[in-house]
Amino acid sequence: MGCVRRPRLVASDVDGTLLDPDARVTDRTARAVTSVVASGTPFVLVSGRPPRWIAPVAKPLDLTGYAVCANGAVLYDCGREEVVAVHGLLKPELLHDIAHALDKALPGCRLATERVGTGADHDMRNFVIEPDYHNPWGDSEGRTGPRAEVLGHPAIKLLVSHRGMTSGEMADAVNALFDRDVDVTYSSSGGLVELSAHGITKATGLADVAERLDVERERVIAFGDMPNDVEMLRWAGHGVAMSAYLGDKIAHSILQGREEASSRNDNPFAQIPFPNAPLGLYNGRPWFLPFAGAWYKLLDWIS
């Protein structure tokens, strides 16, 4: 095995990856982040969260650098609490066209838009929701307004909720409608999908950060756990799929067989070849992944 070079940039998804199931940073994780920062290596939050949801994670960890927000649409400076760059705004005309198509494909869906200003928007002026919009996290934040108001201004994300469907089912239906106008992803299974401008992903946001910090792609390590992390994990020199949603999909693909799982797209990494280990301990099917995940979950719980 060749030597492993220390990464020059560490990037992590937030919910389900950096945070535990209770939405807290464990002591063990906090020590790891502190160690990375103390070594002089930038630690970058890469999240579907808007800027206003970054401070509760960044401040306890003393992170003052960049955060990629809204699945790559916004670059945010945690220390200065200001938006640095915005990519891929959805124009009102496109939002109305999308909404018209969604009403036919997903009857009963409700919409919300995430806009962006120059700061964190702690008073939530930029998050506008329809009546009966469903948030799977159970909170009621957002400024309620009629659909004309929801769709009437440029937005970085269009969020679509449906109480009678899973996020995966919704994503399949929405992907069948739109080809190159928007990209569809989700970070929860609770009936919510997020639409952003085509080509805007966590990978493009992280690439922007790497360029600003003069870090080559091969020296970036990234961690994630959901479908909205896949592009980032593929882009980074070393991508780590956490043993949560995505890790669970990969584990199931191992149990069901690579070819069958690959045909259903359960495992986005199924076609990537892996080297064999000596003694036949590893032949391309990482049977040890569920056990490794369980071990580190136990360590997190103990800590």
**In the Cβ-directed half-sphere of 162, how many Cα atoms lie within 13 Å?**
21
Q: According to the model, what pLDDT value does residue 264 have?
A: 44
Higher pLDDT, 19 or 241: 19
**Taking a C-beta distance cutoff of 8 angstroms, is the pair 223, 13 a contact?**
yes
Given a cut of 70, whether residue 11 has pLDDT beyond it is yes
Q: According to the model, what pLDDT value does residue 296 have?
A: 67
Given a cut of 80, whether residue 256 has pLDDT beyond it is no
- At 137-169, the pLDDT tens digits run 766 678 899 999 999 999 999 999 999 999 989
Q: Alpha helix locations (H) across 144-288?
A: 147-150, 167-177, 202-212, 230-235, 245-256, 258-263
Residue 53: CATH number of its domain: 3.40.50.1000
Q: Is the same domain home to 13 and 40?
A: yes
Residue 261 banded pLDDT, cuts 50, 70, 90? very low
Q: Does 36 map to a domain?
A: yes
Q: Is the same domain home to 145 and 226?
A: no
Distance CA 151, CA 92 (A): 6
Q: Is the same domain home to 30 and 77?
A: yes
Q: Is the same domain home to 96 and 193?
A: yes
Higher pLDDT, 101 or 292: 101
- At 241-253, the pLDDT tens digits run 886 555 555 545 4
Domain end call among 154, 176, 197: 197
**Structural domain of residue 158, as residue ranges?**
92-197
Residue 141: CATH number of its domain: 3.30.1240.10
Q: State how many domains the chain has.
A: 2
**What DSSP line would sit under 30-87, residue for residue?**
HHHHHHHHHTT--EEEE-SS-GGGTHHHHTTTT--SEEEEGGGTEEEETTTTEEEEE-
Q: Is the same domain home to 157 and 298?
A: no
Distance CA 160, CA 113 (A): 9
- At 42-72, the pLDDT tens digits run 999 999 999 989 999 999 999 999 999 999 9
Q: Is the same domain home to 161 and 18?
A: no
Beta carbons within 8 Å of 131's beta carbon, 6+ residues apart: 110, 144
Residue 178 tokens read as 């739109």
Domain end call among 197, 226, 250: 197
Which range is least confidently modeled, 82-86, 202-206, 246-250, 292-296?
Answer: 246-250
Distance CA 286, CA 247 (A): 11
Q: Does 49 map to a domain?
A: yes
Q: According to the model, what pLDDT value does residue 6 have?
A: 87
